């Protein structure tokens, strides 16, 4: 089982759809979670078909915000069974093959709302006892080496995400390959 998460910042560009297809060809994920699609759920069927995937569940972009921000999509191949459990503008929570749970997250980007991402994780924690994997863009980091530009985060800013991970009994799985890809 292989999963891919990508904050694509909009699938309105054909080159981004082409890049997603390339990721799929190289990594052959059974599940693909995409955040910030900037699409309506009804517009994602074309992309699912282009990727030759069997299923897609999407949360509409936010129609009340300028710039058509947001939008989430979880797409899957026919070698897995996906049951949608819970979703919001910031997450899609599913059970895969009745054996484990995946939650795709798009965390609140503004500093004053970071606590909402932590609260979401804590609210989701007791809803299912299966092994749990979270993926996506939390818009938070555990350590300053995870960021490339801008001012370093303070210890109190880092603590919000660290506490969320600890309180949920989760572990960080390090990335392989180039940073920031």
Second CATH level (architecture) for the domain 3-167: 4-Layer Sandwich (3.60)
Give Cα separations from 74 to 31, 52, 155 (angstroms): 7, 14, 33
Find out whether 137 and 5 touch, Cβ atoms under 8 Å.
yes
Low-confidence residues in the chain, pLDDT < 70: 62-68, 176-181
Q: CA torsion sign, 79 to 127 to 104 to 178?
A: negative
Q: What is the pTM of this model?
A: 0.89
| 172 secondary structure, DSSP code | P
pLDDT of residue 180: 58
Strand-pairing partners, residue 74, are 33, 57
Q: What is the pLDDT of residue 181?
A: 53
Identify the pLDDT of residue 79.
94
What pLDDT sits at residue 107?
A: 92
pLDDT at position 43, please?
Answer: 85
Q: Where are the beta strands (DSSP E) in 43-181?
A: 55-61, 70-76, 82-88, 91-96, 100-106, 132-137
- pLDDT, residue 134, reads 95
pLDDT at 11: 85
């Amino acid at each position: 089982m292989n999963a891919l998460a990508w904050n694509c910042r909009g699938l309105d560009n054909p080159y981004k759809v082409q890049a997603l297809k390339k990721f799929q060809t190289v990594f052959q994920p059974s599940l693909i979670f995409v955040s910030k699609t900037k699409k309506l759920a009804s517009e994602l069927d074309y992309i699912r078909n282009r990727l030759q995937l069997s299923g897609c569940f999407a949360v509409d972009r936010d129609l009340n915000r300028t710039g058509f921000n947001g939008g989430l999509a979880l797409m899957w191949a026919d070698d897995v069974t996906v049951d949608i459990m819970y979703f919001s503008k910031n997450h899609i929570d599913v059970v895969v093959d009745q054996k484990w749970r995946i939650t795709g997250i798009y965390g609140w980007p503004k500093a004053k709302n970071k606590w909402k991402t932590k609260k979401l994780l804590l609210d989701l924690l007791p809803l299912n006892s299966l092994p749990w994997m979270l993926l996506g863009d939390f818009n938070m980091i555990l350590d300053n080496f995870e960021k490339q530009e801008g001012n370093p985060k303070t210890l109190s800013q880092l603590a919000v995400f660290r506490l969320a991970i600890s309180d949920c009994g989760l572990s960080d799985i390090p990335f392989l390959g180039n940073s920031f890809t």
